Amino acid sequence: MQLPEIIGIAGTNGSGKDTLADLRFERQMARKVSLSDILRTEATKRRLDHQRENLRAISTEWGRQLGAGALSLMTLKDFWESRTDEETGISIVSVRRPDEAQAIQDNGGVVFWVDANQEERYTRIKYAQRDRIDDLVSFEDFVTQEAIEMYPDTDDPFVINMAGVREMADIAIWNDFVDKEQYRSYLADTYDIQAV
């Protein structure tokens, strides 16, 4: 299967979302934009630490101000306005609201859902040493944070709702590969991510 120029990548923390976007960038010069990084940048501007509850609060605030699909739409607008001749597309990572996924699909893109065993994902994060404060939590806190983001206790479209994104994803990947290289090989072969 050959991917369109726009893809959204959603999924649980530590599941392998960035690996897919990194592979597209390395082999095909598809721009990688993390919606989480946009939120971290804003948290820094506000002098807030990068704990997940702060990032969720900013995301919800922006959603209420600009619409629930705003982060995806802002990212796509920036891509179209600043795209270079070398760039073959864009990977939007950390899609967390159904309206963000819908914005990608409405613009001809597909949305991936990437997941893996919870204990395995927690171990990956610990060994990745990404130096993110939201990664420096106990397993119990990791599980609690994920439940809040997966299953919000409200119908509010501006609140993070990862289960809602999972339900509308076009492609689902269960990342139980032995190592990162095996996962990268699977992605490259299955989705024709070859060097251009």
Higher pLDDT, 41 or 182: 182
Amino acid at 98: P
Domain membership of residue 195 (yes or no) is: no
For residue range 40-69, list pLDDT tens digits in order.
889 999 999 988 889 889 988 988 888 889
The domain of 111 spans 6-190
Domain membership of residue 196 (yes or no) is: no
Indicate if the alpha-carbon torsion angle 57, 60, 63, 65 is positive or negative: negative
pLDDT of residue 127: 81
Domain membership of residue 86 (yes or no) is: yes
For residue range 75-100, list pLDDT tens digits in order.
999 999 999 999 999 999 999 999 99
Query: What's the CATH code of the domain at 135?
Result: 3.40.50.300
Q: Is the pLDDT of residue 135 over 70?
A: no
Tell me the average pLDDT across 150-165.
Answer: 91
Quick one: pLDDT band at residue 131, thresholds 50, 70, 90?
A: low
Tell me the average pLDDT across 15-19.
Answer: 95
Amino acid at 148: I
Domain membership of residue 89 (yes or no) is: yes
Q: Is the pLDDT of residue 133 over 60?
A: no
Domain membership of residue 186 (yes or no) is: yes
- How do strand 89-93 and strand 6-11 relate by DSSP bridges? parallel
Query: Into how many domains does the chain fold?
Result: 1
Q: What is the 3-state secondary structure (H, E, C) of 24-46?
A: HHHHHCEEEEEHHHHHHHHHHHC
Domain membership of residue 182 (yes or no) is: yes
